[in-house]
Amino acid sequence: MSYLLDACALLAFINKETGWTIVDGLLKQAAAGDAVLFMNAINFYETVTIQSPLPFCIFIQK
């Protein structure tokens, strides 16, 4: 099975917010080879910058 994660899903997992256990289960399935997870670059960038805005932005600008 394939799944598309958005920034909200990954942030919920990182911050242990509502629904984080669903994402945890999907990550475990993917690690076991039972699922494939996708995330587009914009959502990935949004997740990284919300979690750690300054260092990642400096890295991207170089």
pLDDT (tens digit per residue) in 7-38: 999 989 988 999 999 999 999 999 999 999 99
| pLDDT > 60? residue 57 | no
Q: Which of 10-19, 20-29, 40-49, 52-61 has the lowest mean pLDDT?
A: 52-61
Cα distances (angstroms) measured from residue 25 to each of 3, 44, 49, 58: 12, 19, 24, 33
Secondary structure of residue 4 in the 3-state scheme? strand
Indicate the SS3 state at residue 2: strand
Number of domains in the chain: 1
Provide the residue range defining the domain that includes 16.
2-61
